[in-house]
Amino acid sequence: MGVLMVIVGVFVMVLCMCTAVLRWNEMRYRKKGLPPGTMGWPVFGETTEFLKQGPNFMKNQRASRYGSFFKSHILGCPTVVSMDPELNRYILMNEAKGLVPGYPQSMLDILGKCNIAAVHGSTHKQMRGALLALISPTMIRQQLLPKIDEFMRAFLSNWDNQVINIQDRTKEMAFLSSLKQIASAESSSVAEQFMPEFFKLVLGTLSLPIDLPGTNYRRGFQARQNILKILGQLIEKRRDSEESQKDMLGYLMRNDDNNRHKLSDDEIIDQIITILYSGYETVSTTSMMAVKYLHDHPTILEELRKEHMGIRERKRADEPIEWNDLKSMRFTRAVIFETSRLATIVNGVLRKTTQEMELNGYVIPKGWRIYVYTREVNYDPFLYPDPLAFNPWRWMDKGLESQNYFLIFGGGTRQCPGKELGIAEISTFLHYFVTRYRWEEVGGEKLMKFPRVEAPNGLHIRVSSY
């Protein structure tokens, strides 16, 4: 009986201490003019609930109590969450007015201080200019699309009569395709060493910046150090050979007068990591989910296959996809947009205040983050009738792509510069997949939609020739 009383006493004492700590933390942020909301624990805030509950944390537990503009403490920083479409558009279109990128410290540490998501002002202009020069429509047409086509042909060969994890395959596809575009001559030799490090880097970018053994942050940061060595050696090897290569690395390393965006080696490496990272998640996940949605909607698959069979009928068996073929894939583009909308590959973007500022009638302190949460716009029935239906035909009207709240690829000066390159990769992947194969799901694995869209146990399909 005495032991039981001690246990109860300890429990009550711990409960009182926790309540006191929570109350103290709330008092710290109870400043006049701040939006309503809760801040959770010191240091950790509400990050655990945010990552576990995702959309429910935002919509049901917070927005239902505090409205579409509220405060929290997530991913290591006090944060204001905005779910208001008008306000979100204003924030994205007015970055220079007291707002800069506000990505988590873990992402900045692991992707590098020179990555395009971290820099702003003249540095952002320089880095974005260098990136746009690599992925312009002319570069896609003349240099990148032939490499993408060659890669997809080889990658999608010999899948007949196999059970494959399409999640793993699309991850490999997205990484290896980008690596071939970046360093075509060396991609095969460095891929085996590079790929596992890159996957660890990706996991570390969305984690609390706690540098302890076994944490995703520590693994991601160590992976970055290993990747720096790989890319540093690659650059030195290129420089020693004095051979010019017509790939992204070759263009970044140019030292002639035609290169208006000359970068240091550190900037080149961060640019390469950014290209790999930004394209990897969107291309791999959209491709996986397109396969999933097409399997579940045979009529849409048939329409897509009809478009691609029409292209193949106009070409010889070994003739590659060309720019005009890509431009003719209108329904494919619609499938990609609808997949991105319904699966919500990107939930929102982060900004940080450089000065105290007023937004939506509230005062936001300097150094706070603003989470421009765009997920709910994707399910707005006024913008997308029957929003939970997979309906690519809604995108056949080009007006939908240009409407003000189309934020699937970001907005303002930070709209994803690789949008068209990503669409080219997914379109080419789908072209060879649907014209060569039919497939059925095996196992019916669970899908998670937050913080990343993924199948925790994989997404397995049985593939047969078409």
Peptide bond between residue 381 and the one before it cis (omega within 30 degrees of 0) = no
Measured distance CA(410)–CA(117) in Å, rounded: 12
Are 201 and 228 in contact, with CB atoms under 8 Å apart?
no
Helices (H), 142-212: 145-155, 166-182, 187-204
Q: What angle do CA 413, 415, 420 make, to 5 degrees?
A: 130
Q: Concatenate the DSSP letters of all residues of 6-24 into one string.
A: HHHHHHHHHHHHHHHHHHH
Cα 215 from Cα 219, distance rounded (Å) = 6
187-204 vs 216-241: helix axis angle to the nearest 10? 150
Which residue has 């007949």 as its token pair? 160
Q: Is 416 annotated as ligand-binding?
A: yes
Tokens of 96: 């220079």
Residues 6+ apart with CB under 8 A from 61: 49, 53
- Residue 249 sits at the vertex; the CA angle it makes with 248 and 252, to the nearest 5 degrees, is 85
Binding residues for heme: 416
Binding residues: 416
